[in-house]
Amino acid sequence: MASLRGADGKQQPAKEAKWAVEVVTVEPGPPERGRETDDEERWHPLDAKMCELGYRPDALIEVLHTAQEAFGYLGAETLAYVGERLGVPKSKAYGVATFYSFFTLEPKARHTCVVCTGTACYLDGAAALLSAVADVLAARAKAAAPGEKEAAGGWISLEEVRCLGPCSMAPVAVVDGEVHGKLSPSGLASLVKAL
């Protein structure tokens, strides 16, 4: 979605550009989860939330949470829809959506593996957990046929989070919403492979 252009307006590869002006164009992304056609019903959870909070601009973050829960990510259309009804300019809505690490503008994969990298988990080997899962992903991508390459990336998203709180169970990872503690790298790799 974002393209890097040099001062002369020509697109440049990121490495060579000395002073890259990032011109971000928000293009319509892939269809949001739960959306079959131009069905207006998909906006209902958002409408309900906005109504509950009085359509005030300060409801933005709460509504974006609702939107992400409903659609899996925040597409351009969602941001425009919400911004318009709350009286928030598109630029501000986009600014808020990109500021907070919980929000994502890209669709998530079918499964999620979130590894906690808080202090206790870091000391107890969070880095090893991340490498173990990364290895599983790399192996799977390698084994996938050329046409299936996309499928591997869409299978699971590997993310980090800074401290979920259950530090006595370090190291912790959340796989598809389920919290697992006292994990070993091989243990987590098995959990992921079984998805």
CA dihedral 110, 113, 192, 173 (to 10 degrees): -150
CB 20 within 8 Å of CB 12: yes
**Nearer to other proteins among residue 28 and residue 87 (C-beta):** 87
Least distance to other proteins, CB of residue 122, Å? 6
Q: What is the SS3 string spanning 114-154?
A: EEECCHHHHHCCHHHHHHHHHHHHHHHHHHCCHHHHHHHHH
- Is residue 173 a contact residue for other proteins (CB under 8 A)? no
For residues 31 and 165, which CB has a smaller minimum distance to other proteins in the complex? Answer: 165
Q: Is 78 in the site for other proteins (CB under 8 A)?
A: no
101 binds other proteins (CB under 8 A): yes
**Cβ of residue 62: shortest distance to other proteins, in angstroms?**
6
Place of tokens 């503690």: 181
Binding span for other proteins by CB under 8 A among 2-10, 37-45, 69-77, 91-99: 91-99
Q: What are phi and psi of 74, to 5 degrees?
A: -110, 105
Check residue 186 for interaction with other proteins (CB under 8 A).
no
Q: Is 164 in the site for other proteins (CB under 8 A)?
A: yes
Binding segment (CB under 8 A) for other proteins, from list 40-48, 73-81, 96-104, 135-143: 96-104
In the DSSP assignment, the letter for residue 33 is T
Residue 128's closest CA among 97, 94, 173? 173
Question: Which residues form the interface with other proteins (CB under 8 A)?
Answer: 56-62, 64-65, 86, 88, 92, 95-96, 99-103, 117-123, 160-170, 179, 181
